[in-house]
Amino acid sequence: MNLNAEAKVITVDPLSPDRVILAKAGEMIRQGRLVAFPTETVYGLGANGLSAEAVRRIFVAKGRPTDNPLILHIASLNDLLRVACQVPLSAYALAARFWPGSLTLVLQRNKAVPDEVSAGLDTIGVRIPAHRVALALIRAGRTPIAAPSANRAGRPSPTTAAHVLHDLGERIDLILDGGETDVGVESTVLDLTVAPPCILRPGGITIEELKKVTGKVDLLGVEKQDSGPARSPGLKYRHYAPQTPLILVSGAEMVEKIIALIAQYKAEGRRVGVLAGEENSSYYKEADCVVIIGARADLTQIARNLFAGLRRLDAAGVDVLVAEIFDEQGIGAAIMNRLRKAASEII
């Protein structure tokens, strides 16, 4: 690992990545080094997914608990059986519809994949990302790439190379800067080792879209995510969290409650930041900092700006953050999942 020097940041064209740069980055992956790269969801922190030693470096760099498994990224369906086995037909139907794309399938693990990747589970999470830089890196590395989101454990996922540099700059070797990511929240994690299939994490592919292909789908309840034997170990940790305490405000009187909270915190001498949709922005003028992440009616835009918004508020030097809730339909399920996990309190 590159402990002293900052990671090298290299700009790449997201639509037509430079072959020479990608060949070098692929070589670094083969050497067991850590390369951050853009996917369509968020930036990933990549390492050779078939090397236990390289994968261990990911956990160290992120400060990630070793019982939280990583997703393997492949560039072609031909590579699926290098990482998984006993693949059900439903996986091929889902892959045909959603890959490349923001859907991670949990399948039986091929024993060629080191224990470190799956945190000892006999299953593996795998997806083909829909980003030319990610695909080019996997091809150049000639190996499946293990990659969690490229943030320090517990922090909001990175949607720009600058976020990655901020969190991990001194701990990784290279950052491929392909600009801002498109979806903004991570992939949907779908467990296909159970019947009916179970969504372990809502994400870029919506529950409504999945049901059209697989029929019945279960959604792992929030209660089950936070206690008992974890189906997806990552779910039991606090996530996506800004360092400043975040109060998530729900209910029909949301705007009124936020206005009252701002007044209360101000009276206590605390500086307040607000995360909101543009429809209500004019009501929050008394706050010290208001970050608008898009129109509430456009959940795609809210998802795209969510993590960057949380990071901006965290850097604003306020004492407490207050966030609006959003509609849970479509990608709203992923937005609200992330906000609930980021919140220190929900009122």
| 160 touches ligand TXA (CB under 6 A) | no
CA pair distance 189, 290, nearest whole angstrom: 32
Spatial CA neighbour of 96 closest among 213, 217, 216, 207: 213
Spatial CA neighbour of 187 closest among 235, 148, 238: 148
CA pair distance 50, 129, nearest whole angstrom: 18
Mask 29-68, x = binds ligand TXA (CB under 6 A)? Answer: ----------x-xx-x-----------------------x
- Find the shortest distance in angstroms from Cβ 318 to ligand TXA: 27
Among 39, 123, 149, 181, binds Mg ion (CB under 5 A): 149
Cβ proximity to ligand TXA: between 33 and 296 the closer is 33
End-to-end CA distance of the chain: 43
| 233 touches ligand TXA (CB under 6 A) | yes
The secondary structure of residue 69, as a DSSP letter, is P
Residue 325: name its binding partner from Mg ion, ligand TXA, none (Cβ under 5 to 8 Å by kind).
Answer: none
- Find the shortest distance in angstroms from Cβ 70 to ligand TXA: 5
37 SS3 class: strand
Cis-peptide into 196, omega within 30 deg? yes
Ramachandran category for residue 153: left, alpha or beta (phi over 0 → left; psi -120 to 50 → alpha): beta
Burial (CB < 10 A; 0-12, 13-18, 19+), residue 97, is middle
| 337 touches ligand TXA (CB under 6 A) | no
Contact predicate 285/274, CB 8 Å: no
Among 100, 101, 178, 234, binds ligand TXA (CB under 6 A): 234
Tell me which residues in 86-115 interact with ligand TXA (CB under 6 A): 102, 104, 106
Which region among 46-54, 110-118, 147-155, 187-195 touches Mg ion (by CB under 5 A)? 147-155
| Interaction site with ligand TXA (CB under 6 A) | 39, 41-42, 44, 68-71, 102, 104, 106, 118, 121, 123-125, 129, 147-149, 186-187, 189, 200-201, 232-235
